Chains A and B, each alone.
Chain A
Amino acid sequence: MATAVRNPPVRHGRGGRHGRGGLPWYIAGGVAISAVFVVPLLWEVFRSLQPASAVSQPPSARTFGHLTLGNYQSLLSGQDDIIRNVTNSLIVAVLAAVLTALVALLAGYGFALFRFRGSGLAFGLVLLAFMIPFQAVLTPLFLEMHFFHLLNSLLGLALFYTTFNLPVGVYVMRNSFLQVPRELVDAARVDGASVITTLVSVFRPLVMPGIATTALFAFLFSWTEFLGALSFLTNDSLFTLPVALSNVETGTYGAVNYGLLLAGAIIAMVPCVVVYVALQRFYVRGLVSGALKG
């Protein structure tokens, strides 16, 4: 098995054991299967473009063609102040992505290329956090964040997200640095360049993919996270988008309007799709390295 992992993955080519069955059938089957996963999402985009009154009625041929941005307009201009929530979500997700990438970059550098006493223990402690579900430390964390005045704070939420993205990030970054050719590491050391200069000028281009993977994981996690934001934010104006939508769902600001709720869900969805489709090779790379190493 170890050999299998070290060898470059052998692709199951067209001439392989999947050679049976023609290509047109494969494509047709693939389109049908993909439709099961994508059409519901596209259907919701379509539904969100119907007038709010149509969303509250069964889909019908009469209202089918009426498309409008009305739901988005009323959501973004209404009392809900969703623009502020979207901004909050963006601030938290970007801050968490940058912090995670930066801290994991330094730690990966330290763990991979420096030998120091307690290194193994320190790495073990970081990975231990991987086994602590954040859902299970929410209550003590709430009291602690209260003590540090980090409740109702976007910074506090970003620090929380950073922590729980660090184990994966440190792991990915350490592997990135371990793949830097040994000769390059020694050359940099002999040249007498400072640690940070070496990191920025010699290693940065080599570990950029790892940084992208780490930041992407942290961004997507933070953009879609719900329970932590629900627990640590009580001030409406600081709500992130997923939490603000629960107010729209229950109609805190008046009658329940499912058109608005759908528009909000689509606004939450779009950045994920765009970021993922643009950067998916980094995402898949992180998943695969994690999967192979276990």
Chain B
Amino acid sequence: MTTKTVGAPPAEPALRRRRPAAEARRTTRTGLILVSPALLFVGVFALFPLGFGVYISLTDWPLIGPYHFIGLGNYQALLHSSVFLQSIVFTLKYTAIVTIPIFVVGYALAVFVRSNRPGSTVFRTMIFLPYIVGLVAESYMAVVELQPSSGTANFVLAKLGIVSNTTAWTVHTGLALTAISILVIWFASGLTMMLLMAGMQGIPQEIYESARVDGASWWSAEWRLTLPLLRKSIALSLIISVVGSFLAFNQFYIITDGGPGTSTVPVVMSIFQTAFAQMDVGLASAMSVVLVIVVGLITFVQFHFLQGDEA
């Protein structure tokens, strides 16, 4: 029986049609049972909190005690909350600073490792390592190495005559942002490289060969062929990187703790502090709703991009 079926794949639709109704019902139930644990997890720990968050954002919910509906009061308060607005501006600024360098470095690296020349696999692995190790461990390392008189950063930069050996990186907003941006570009460009490389390897080689026959230079082939054909991968890598920057928390919490003052507080840290330090859960939820909408918009633009590619 088994061999017969294997030999005759086109018979499959007929087989399906002949299936008795009872078995179809059983299949339906089995399918539902199989996917129900996943639905339970996602429903309980992702979708419900999302709806619950919208509900809480319309109240003055404290961490402990009774609550009251206050309509859009929290959202109005947000418009006047200098801390929140400052964190949004700071997050936008940070995102603007790191996005292009991550993309450009990642693209250049992808061009370098996409060929299957000896060593390229090893190079890929090594360049991707900072991403795998994670920003948390690396932020702790940065804390040690950014110390004014003992850190390696100042030691090397002072030898090169770029900064003084006593530069206090985390005490000045601009310096802190510079150091964190460099750390993040180093951390994240490997991921962009991997995503773009996968896209580049999906482009048929013949396209380049015909372009070469037509006398196109390497640069013009890259500009006129690779970039347009890579639109999907480029959109994906940019979205991952921009959303990641929007949701930044770890590196700021560990390296600057939002300081000096509140000048390096990103949005997620602002929510975290509002909820767990000021215990204003209602306001924190309103901030979260704004964040979900912004991130949702970015994702929507991504899908728009991808749909356009399909047409």
Residues of A within 8 A of B (CB): 1-2, 4-5, 7, 9-14, 16-18, 20, 23, 26-27, 29-30, 33-34, 36-38, 40-41, 43-44, 47, 55-59, 103-104, 106-107, 109-111, 114-119, 122-123, 125-126, 128-129, 131-144, 159-160, 162-164, 166-167, 170, 182-184, 186-187, 190-191, 195, 220, 223-224, 226-227, 230-231, 242, 245-246, 249, 258, 261-262, 264-266, 268-269, 272-273, 276-277, 280, 283-284, 287-288, 291-292, 294
The residues of A that contact B259 with a CB separation of less than 8 Å are none
Choose among B35, B140, B201 the residue that contacts A12 (Cβ–Cβ < 8 A): B201
B205 touching A249 by the CB < 8 A rule?
no
B35 touching A110 by the CB < 8 A rule?
yes
B275 touching A38 by the CB < 8 A rule?
no
The residues of B that contact A164 with a CB separation of less than 8 Å are 45-46
Does B175 lie at the interface of the complex (its beta carbon under 8 Å from any beta carbon of A)? no
A135 touching B268 by the CB < 8 A rule?
yes
B39 touching A125 by the CB < 8 A rule?
yes
Choose among B32, B132, B152, B275 the residue that contacts A139 (Cβ–Cβ < 8 A): B275
Report Cα–Cα, A114/B194, bound state, in Å. 33
The residues of A that contact B271 with a CB separation of less than 8 Å are 135-136, 138-139
Choose among A183, A272, A292 the residue that contacts B132 (Cβ–Cβ < 8 A): A272
CB interface residues, B 234-276, toward A, < 8 Å: 235-236, 243, 247, 249-250, 253-254, 268, 271-272, 275-276
Give the nearest-CB partner of A105 in chain B. B34
B198 touching A227 by the CB < 8 A rule?
no
The A contact surface, by secondary structure, is helix
The residues of A that contact B150 with a CB separation of less than 8 Å are 55-58, 258
B31 touching A116 by the CB < 8 A rule?
yes
A129 touching B46 by the CB < 8 A rule?
yes
The residues of B that contact A224 with a CB separation of less than 8 Å are 133-137
B119 touching A137 by the CB < 8 A rule?
no
Give the nearest-CB partner of B288 in chain A. A136
A16 touching B205 by the CB < 8 A rule?
yes
A26 touching B117 by the CB < 8 A rule?
yes
A133 touching B247 by the CB < 8 A rule?
yes
Report Cα–Cα, A226/B165, bound state, in Å. 32
B126 touching A103 by the CB < 8 A rule?
no
Give the nearest-CB partner of A156 in chain B. B45
Choose among A44, A139, A166, A230 the residue that contacts B285 (Cβ–Cβ < 8 A): A139
B115 touching A133 by the CB < 8 A rule?
no
Give the nearest-CB partner of A137 in chain B. B49
Report Cα–Cα, A187/B12, bound state, in Å. 10
A55 touching B144 by the CB < 8 A rule?
yes
Does B179 lie at the interface of the complex (its beta carbon under 8 Å from any beta carbon of A)? no
Choose among A14, A163, A291 the residue that contacts B117 (Cβ–Cβ < 8 A): A14
Interface string of B294-311 (1 = CB under 8 A from A): 011001000000100110
Central interface residue in B41, B221, B295, by most chain A CB within 10 Å: B41
Does B65 lie at the interface of the complex (its beta carbon under 8 Å from any beta carbon of A)? no
CB interface residues, B 23-72, toward A, < 8 Å: 27-35, 37-39, 41-50, 52-53, 56
The residues of A that contact B5 with a CB separation of less than 8 Å are 183, 186-187, 190
A17 touching B306 by the CB < 8 A rule?
no
Report Cα–Cα, A104/B34, bound state, in Å. 9
A4 touching B165 by the CB < 8 A rule?
no
A141 touching B117 by the CB < 8 A rule?
no
Closest 3 CB pairs of A and B: A114-B31, A110-B34, A224-B134
B32 touching A129 by the CB < 8 A rule?
no
Report Cα–Cα, A292/B296, bound state, in Å. 21
B194 touching A284 by the CB < 8 A rule?
yes
The residues of A that contact B227 with a CB separation of less than 8 Å are none
Does B79 lie at the interface of the complex (its beta carbon under 8 Å from any beta carbon of A)? no
